[in-house]
Amino acid sequence: MSATIEKPAVPAQAAGEKMIEVVGVSRRFSKKLDIAGKILAKLGAPIREEVVHAVDKVDLTIRKGEVVGLVGESGCGKSTLGRMVAGILPPSDGTILWKGKDRTGMGGKEARAAMLQAQMIFQDPMSSLNPRLKVAEIIGEAPLVHGLTSRAELARYVDEQMRRAGLDPAFKARYPHQFSGGQRQRIGIARALAVQPEFLVCDESVAALDVSIQAQILNLFMALRRELNLTYLFISHDLGVVEHLSDRVVIMYLGRVVEEAPTETVFARANHPYTQSLLAAVPRIEARKKAFATVKGEIPSPLNPPSGCHFHPRCPHAFDRCRVEIPALQEVAPGHKSRCHLNDLPNHGGQPV
């Protein structure tokens, strides 16, 4: 990212009470049969059901006011975790607490409030915006239904959300296709803000935009954080994108969290070989490029993940134990966790290898 991004004004230590607690959460998907499989099944052949372990026993706490970056390669389970955290996908196992309460046990008004307070902003605004509705209708629909504004006040309310998201209310009678990609993302943001959320899950929300537009949208997220005291889970495959706005970074690999630390720590003292290889791929970080090799090889299929440490086939430091035993996510320094057997080796001391 070459354009300037404002550093967040709220340090991690200022974060408040627990907003989201993810406790031992897993999510599995049954893989649909392809045509050959369907024919074989019809013929009565024994078919083994294939299961994707998209998210595997994840623990994660997000405090009020924090910005947590969730990073990893495509298919490692980031979106699935994000959707569960936002409350739009139930976990297969484990619990997600919203302000200390299990959302699945909530009913009526309380469930509706929790649903509105956590909003998700997607990568492709075009596919999440109804092309047949005018912008004013897209933004105004939910707050009207949920009684956050009245019909008499609606026009003013929509104008306010548009201005907050950096859109000119003069364009509210237009349709989504009449806007640029960056403006469409602003419409998605205005729609989310219109239900007065406290927590935003941004899933690759700038990935489809040009670099200069990316910086504008990231700056908007940070301005909204200050103005509305928002909490964020910011999902990206790119460590460079989360660097400037996250207080803390969580790195996922094939469904598991492999490292978690304050952002500065990840960039100064990444512990896990996978994080180190992601850093080596961030274009600007020349020193890292020399110190670490970029991640080699394809990400293995989540249908058949490697034994032991999932990363071992691609890890330049793998040894016998890595092939058979799943490493625990353990603290290597205060607030810094890593899932790597190297940390148990004498003289390793939790430092980058």
Ligand X SMILES: Nc1ncnc2c1ncn2[C@@H]1O[C@H](COP(=O)(O)OP(=O)(O)OP(=O)(O)O)[C@@H](O)[C@H]1O
- Per CB under 6 A, residues contacting ligand X are 29, 52, 54, 72, 74-80, 237, 302
Phi/psi of residue 93, each to 5°? -140, 160
- The SS3 of residue 309 is coil
d(CA 121, CA 221): 11
DSSP designation for 294 = P
Smallest gap, in angstroms, from Cβ of residue 75 to ligand X? 4
Comparing CB distances to ligand X, the nearer of 237 and 288 is 237
Pairing of strands 199-203, 231-236: parallel
Smallest gap, in angstroms, from Cβ of residue 301 to ligand X? 8
Smallest gap, in angstroms, from Cβ of residue 272 to ligand X? 17
d(CA 292, CA 266): 14
Phi/psi of residue 229, each to 5°? 55, 45
Phi/psi of residue 237, each to 5°? -85, -5
Smallest gap, in angstroms, from Cβ of residue 204 to ligand X? 6
Comparing CB distances to ligand X, the nearer of 306 and 350 is 306
Comparing CB distances to ligand X, the nearer of 71 and 213 is 71
Pick from 71, 75, 90, 91: nearest CA to 25: 91
Q: Which residues contact 158 (CB under 8 A, 6 or more apart)?
A: 136, 139, 140, 169, 172, 194
Smallest gap, in angstroms, from Cβ of residue 305 to ligand X? 10
Smallest gap, in angstroms, from Cβ of residue 286 to ligand X? 27
Pick from 346, 350, 347: nearest CA to 331: 350
Comparing CB distances to ligand X, the nearer of 237 and 256 is 237
Comparing CB distances to ligand X, the nearer of 8 and 87 is 87
Smallest gap, in angstroms, from Cβ of residue 196 to ligand X? 27
d(CA 69, CA 251): 8
Buried b (16+ CB within 10 A) or exposed e, 75-93: bbbbbbbbbbbbbebebbe
d(CA 302, CA 337): 23
| Bridge partners (DSSP) listed for residue 259 | 251, 338
Comparing CB distances to ligand X, the nearer of 54 and 249 is 54
Comparing CB distances to ligand X, the nearer of 55 and 158 is 55
| Bridge partners (DSSP) listed for residue 21 | 61, 97
Smallest gap, in angstroms, from Cβ of residue 337 to ligand X? 20
Comparing CB distances to ligand X, the nearer of 184 and 237 is 237
Give the orientation angle of helix 181-193 with respect to helix 211-228, to 10 degrees: 20
Both tokens of 242, joined, read 């989360």
Helix (H) or strand (E) holding 342: none
Smallest gap, in angstroms, from Cβ of residue 112 to ligand X? 25
Comparing CB distances to ligand X, the nearer of 29 and 171 is 29
Residue given tokens 């509706």 in the structure block: 112
